[in-house]
A and B are shown apart, each in its own frame.
Chain A
């Protein structure tokens, strides 16, 4: 095509730039719609939790609260205004924290150690062992409820936070091992060889050479484990009850066992409280999460 005519050229440029702007806005529109679709429930939760019951009954889901009321949050957290025996979240929040911190720490640490041993100290059958670990990732948790309950009984850990820590550690190991194994396999073996010649042993190499460069995968593993364990309901409800229950179980009890009218604002506030820690973890470490997920593909 001939574009020697400057006027023609100008017209072409204008139409191209118009087209670009149009596509840009179309893109924003579609992405915006998706974002609204995803965030709408969150909006409803927050708005509802800040309203009084009267306001909820009168208005609709989307209206903003006339006056911001934190009463529902206080009730959900510390049981303010509740009758004795009603469930509120504070003690169970600490239960969950006492469960999630050791379970995440232990499963991450041993996952790292396993991944290190499986990739850098190869032995006969190491691949078969790793396959078994992978197999562990696919076990449906419902299938092991009964044997695990029996095991916890024998160990004397039924209905205790320690019992839940054990269960989550054992079932988290498959995933944490896989994460670390896949990360360490991309780290050149020569680095380990050099350290061996330098005189470092198994643990020295692990702590001094490998662990300091494992930050990305540690973040991924911690987020994964934290989310999984914090949000777990099945193990929590199967192996604990009453005072030893984690927060998700307590939330369920709170919402389902209210004797009088449904207090939607309290329910929403409670659900939000139960979700805050995982949100926080994502906000704080999300950047590293994405970096860690892609880290394995490029050689450091």
Chain B
């Protein structure tokens, strides 16, 4: 059980600054996911929290203590790596208990923890095997076991599921989720997979180019992305972004797409601006694929649109349909029974209750 605080953390590799004044506050028992594209600094941040990378500037506090100069083994953390990082020459038993032996834990205690956690992870039948004799999923479990037996204050995960196949990944994701429920230990989890992030996190920190772009609950991140980057990074298929102009005439505010015809505009009267743009300002209008609906769905704030499908893909339980939209291509998620034909316009409803508006210049949410 522990809190973690990172303040103004900076890291340079040679001349490149990979982390720029990172601030992060993690309360006890939270599951924080660091999410971002490769090279955004998320793994470096995790390694620094673990003590495997030195701190250039700033502080890392675990339970209010500055641990900048504390060795990894003394931080009371455990880490699970993407490559599992099992010791190839040792049996599963030795792999799992290696850390405890280094800490001179009594034999009975070691045996007891081993029994408990190997049963929990269903690796109790594999204890005498070497890592080379295990499947990917089993190796992953052993790696988890090695972290668990130590009963650390904070768990660190560095893309632990990236090497597993799709089915196993979902299975292990569920187990990690259950584990967090059971243990209630603080966990920091690095991934580039948004689905993992959404499903595991109590809060997600979206990182890009060495800074945390946004931190919030999965719901907040998905519904109210604070920048074009976050909006675009989260969600699959990606959010539809359309460039245009903000127009305000008295009380009537609306969005005019750049290449519109026939005076087409989208009313924005119901949108709650954090800071309202000026009349004529360039803005980006964002809406998620699920916000294009069939007309019969009753919505409190919506508008009718006629769109021509340019591509229809059946994903199983629904259809992903691309439409031509004033020179842009937008994607909608429609029910599978919909009768759509290429180049034949269908009338649809655009849900305006959960749209996002960004400033074109700063790409920040308005």
Contacts and interface: CB of A to CB of B under 8 A. Distances in A.
A191 B85 contact: yes
Interface stretch (A155-163, A192-200, A287-295): A192-200
Nearest to A299: B83
Contact of A199 (B50, B82, B87, B103): B103
A194 B81 contact: yes
A196 B50 CA distance: 10
Interface string A211-253: 0110000000000000000000000000000000000000000
A260 B99 CA distance: 71
Contact of B73 (A196, A213, A300): A196
Given A196-B52, A197-B73, A188 B98 contact: no
B235 interface: no
Interface string B34-59: 00000000000001001010000000
Given A193-B50, A212-B89, A200 B83 contact: no
Interface string B66-81: 0000011100011101
B85 A193 contact: yes
Interface range on chain B: under 10, 10 to 19, 20 to 34, or 35 or more?
A: 20 to 34
Per DSSP, chain A at the interface is: helix
A188 B85 contact: yes
Given A193-B52, A209-B89, A198 B82 contact: no
B249 interface: no
B99 A197 contact: yes
B133 to A, nearest CB: 14
A197 B99 CA distance: 8
Interface string B145-163: 0100010000000100000
Contact of A209 (B78, B83, B87): B87
B102 interface: yes
A300 B86 CA distance: 12
Given A190-B81, A198-B98, A208 B73 contact: no
Contacts of A300: 88
B83 A195 contact: no
A43 B66 CA distance: 75
A300 B81 CA distance: 16
Q: Which one of B50, B78, B99, B158 has the greatest number of beta carbons of chain A within 10 Å?
A: B99
A284 B244 CA distance: 77
B72 to A, nearest CB: 5
A262 interface: no
Given A196-B52, A196-B72, A196-B73, A204 B102 contact: yes
Given A195-B87, A198-B73, A300-B88, A190 B50 contact: no
B79 A193 contact: yes
Interface in B87-132: 87-90, 98-99, 102-103
Contacts of A200: 73, 98, 102
A147 B90 CA distance: 47
A198 B102 contact: yes
Interface in A177-197: 188, 190-191, 193-197
B83 A197 contact: no
Contacts of A188: 83, 85
Contacts of B103: 199
Contacts of B50: 193, 197
Contacts of B98: 195, 198, 200, 208
Nearest to B47: A193
A193 to B, nearest CB: 5
A178 B109 CA distance: 43
A193 B81 contact: yes
A213 B87 CA distance: 9
Contacts of A208: 87, 90, 98
A209 B87 CA distance: 6
B77 A191 contact: no
B102 A199 contact: yes
Interface string A46-73: 0000000000000000000000000000
Contact of B72 (A190, A191, A197, A213): A197
B33 to A, nearest CB: 20
A257 to B, nearest CB: 52
A194 B73 CA distance: 10
Contact of A191 (B52, B78, B87): B87
Closest 5 CB pairs of A and B: A212-B89, A199-B102, A198-B99, A199-B73, A190-B85
27 contacts: A188-B85, A190-B81, A191-B83, A191-B85, A193-B52, A194-B86, A194-B146, A195-B87, A195-B98, A196-B52, A197-B73, A197-B77, A197-B79, A197-B99, A198-B98, A198-B102, A198-B150, A199-B73, A199-B99, A199-B103, A204-B102, A208-B87, A208-B90, A208-B98, A209-B87, A209-B89, A213-B88
Given A188-B85, A197-B52, 7 more contacts: A191-B85, A193-B47, A194-B146, A195-B98, A198-B98, A208-B90, A212-B90
Interface of B: 47, 50, 52, 71-73, 77-79, 81-83, 85-90, 98-99, 102-103, 146, 150, 158
